[in-house]
Structure 1
Amino acid sequence: MKKRKVLIYIILSYGITWALWIPLLLNYQLGADIPLLPGQFYLASFGPILGAIITSLLCGGGEIRTWFKRTYSFQFSKKWLAIAVLMPISYGIIGIAAHRLAMGVWPDFSRFGLTEKLPGFNLWQTALVWILTFGLGEESGWRGFLLPELTKRYSLRISSLLVALVWIFWHLPAFFFNPTYLNMGPGIIGWAISLTFGSVLLAWLSNGSGFSVIPVLIWHGGFDLITASDEGAQVMAMVCSMLVIVQGIWLIRKMARSEVKGQR
C-alpha cells in the first residue's frame, strides 16, 4: 500500500463531495441562497468514484484499467449476487414484521421504498437512484478502490474498520443541512455503529467477489431503499440496522479467528 496514494484518494473524495455539500450547508444554516444544481445532494455521492478515477489516472501505469476491470468485473461466483439480493429482501421482511408488532398495523405498502426527497418517483425509479448514486458513486470508491488498497498492508478486518472511519467522516457536512441527519440527535451513535459494522459486512461481500463492487452496490442500493424510505424511517430502519450490526459482529469475530489461524 502506498500511503501517498491513499491520502490523495481521501482528499479528492472528500473534496469533491464537500464542494457540492457545503453550498447546501450554507444555504440551510446561513440563508446564503447559493445557486444549486438539480439533485446536488445526490451528485455529491460521486465523490468517492471520481476520487478513485482521478487518483488512478495520477498514478499512471495502467492503474485506471486495473481498477476498472477489477471493480466492475463479473468474474466471481454468482452466489455473491444472490447474497446481495437476498440480504436486503430478508431485512425488509423482518422489518415489516417488526413494524406490525411495534405499531399494531402493517406499513403502507403503497409507499414502500418511496421518499419525499425524490417526489414523483415510483419504487423502481427510487431504487435506481439509490443504486446509481450512493451505491455506484460510493462503492466504486470505498470498496472498489480504498478497501483493496488497504488490504495490501492490513488484514481485511482492520481494512474494513479503516474504511468505516473514512466513510463516517465523509458524511460530516450532511449533519448540518440534511433533515435525516439533523434529526438523529443521540441516534448518531447508533448510526456510526451501524455504519461501522456495515463496512465489515460489505468488506466481506467485496472480498468474496474479488473486490468487484457489483454485489456490493446492489446490497447498498437495496438497503438504502428500505431504510431511507419515509415509511421505513423509524421501526424498519432501526431493525435493519440492528441486523447489520449483528451480522457485522459475527463477521468481525470470524475474520479475527482467521487471522489467528493464519499466524500459526
Structure 2
Amino acid sequence: MKTKINYLAIVVFYSIAIALRYVTNKTTVLDNLSSEFLKVILQGIGPAIGAVISFLIFKIKPTPSLKGNYKNLLIPLLLYWIFPIVLILGTEYYTSGTFSFVAVTAILVYGLLEEMGWRGFLQQELKSLPAIANVLIVATLWFIWHLNFNLTTSNILFFGILILASWGIGAVADRTHSLLAVSAFHSLNNFFPEMSQIKIIILILLVSVWILSLIIKKRKQNRL
C-alpha cells in the first residue's frame, strides 16, 4: 500500500489540470474550432495531461490501466463501452430515428480523460489517507476544477453529487483498476442531462448490469 503522499506531484497535476480547464472553458481559444467532438475532448483533457506529466516527472507508476485487473482488455471494453454505446444509440434510433454516435463517443472519451486524473492519479496518490478524507479532497478539487463558483442550490447539489461520485467511482476504481470502467460510471450523468422514462430505464439497466458484473467479479476473486 502507498504510504507516502507526493504533494509536489499533486500540485503539478492540479496546476496543469486547472490551467487547461481555464484556457479551454473560460477563454475564446476554442471558439473557431469546427469539430464539436474535438472541442469536447479538449475541455476535459486537463486532468489527463496533468496526470501523465506528473507520472513522468516524479517517476510514479500508474495503478489503474484501461484493462485493469480483468483478464484481457476486451472484457471491460465490451462491458463498459460497447454495451452502453449499442444500448443508447439503438434506443435512440428506434425511438427517434437519430444516431448520435459522435456525441456518445465524445462523452465516454471525455470521462476517460477526466478519470485518468481523478481516479487514475489523485485518488491513488492520496491512498494512504482515511477513505473519507480521500473522497472529500478528490471531490473538492474536482468541484473547483469545474470553475463554477456561483452560490446556488444547484451548485451545492452538484458538490454533493461529486462527493457521492468520488466515493462510488472510487470504489469501482479500487475493485477493477480499470479506467474504462470508471469512465463509464463517470459518463452516466453526461449521457442523461435530462431524464425521461426511456432514459431512466436505460440508466437503471446500465447500472444494474455493471453492479451485477462487479458482484460476480468479486465473488470469483474471493474463490481464488
- Indicate the TM-score class for this superposition, using the shorter chain for normalisation: 0.5 to 0.7
Matches of 1:5 and 1:154, distance apart in 2: 16
Matches of 1:158 and 1:35, distance apart in 2: 38
Corresponding residue number in structure 1 for 2:217: none
Corresponding residue number in structure 1 for 2:125: 149
Pair 1:165–1:54, CA change in 2 (3 A): same
The TM-score with structure 2 as length reference comes to: 0.67
Corresponding residue number in structure 2 for 1:37: 33
Corresponding residue number in structure 2 for 1:136: 112
Corresponding residue number in structure 1 for 2:55: 56
Matches of 2:64 and 2:30, distance apart in 1: 39
Establish whether residue 23 from structure 1 lines up as the match of residue 23 from structure 2: no
Once the two structures are TM-superposed, the CA of residue 216 in structure 1 deviates from its matched residue by 0.5
Pair 1:21–1:209, CA change in 2 (3 A): same
Matches of 1:154 and 1:136, distance apart in 2: 24
Q: Residue deviations 1:180-225, cap 9 Å, x none?
A: xxxx952222121112111110011101113x31211122224421
| Secondary structure of 2:27 counterpart | helix
Pair 1:125–1:150, CA change in 2 (3 A): same
| Secondary structure of 1:70 counterpart | coil
Q: Structure 1: give runs of 5+ residues left out of the alignment.
A: 25-32, 93-107, 112-120, 177-183, 245-264
Determine if contact 1:21/1:41 at 8 Å carries over to the other structure. no
Establish whether residue 4 from structure 1 lines up as the match of residue 8 from structure 2: yes
Establish whether residue 195 from structure 1 lines up as the match of residue 162 from structure 2: yes
Determine if contact 2:68/2:179 at 8 Å carries over to the other structure. no
Q: Percent identity?
A: 21
Corresponding residue number in structure 1 for 2:213: none
Larger Rg: 1
Give the aligned residue type for 2:69: Q
| Secondary structure of 1:140 counterpart | helix
Matches of 2:114 and 2:156, distance apart in 1: 21
The TM-score with structure 1 as length reference comes to: 0.58
Determine if contact 2:24/2:30 at 8 Å carries over to the other structure. no
Determine if contact 1:127/1:221 at 8 Å carries over to the other structure. no
Q: What is the alpha-carbon root mean square deviation over aligned residues?
A: 3.7
Matches of 1:41 and 1:51, distance apart in 2: 17
Pair 1:81–1:160, CA change in 2 (3 A): farther
The number of residue pairs the alignment matches comes to: 183
Q: Which of the residues 85, 105, 110 maps onto 2:96?
A: 110
Q: Structure 2: give runs of 5+ residues left out of the alignment.
A: 88-93, 208-224
Pair 1:127–1:109, CA change in 2 (3 A): same
Corresponding residue number in structure 2 for 1:224: 190
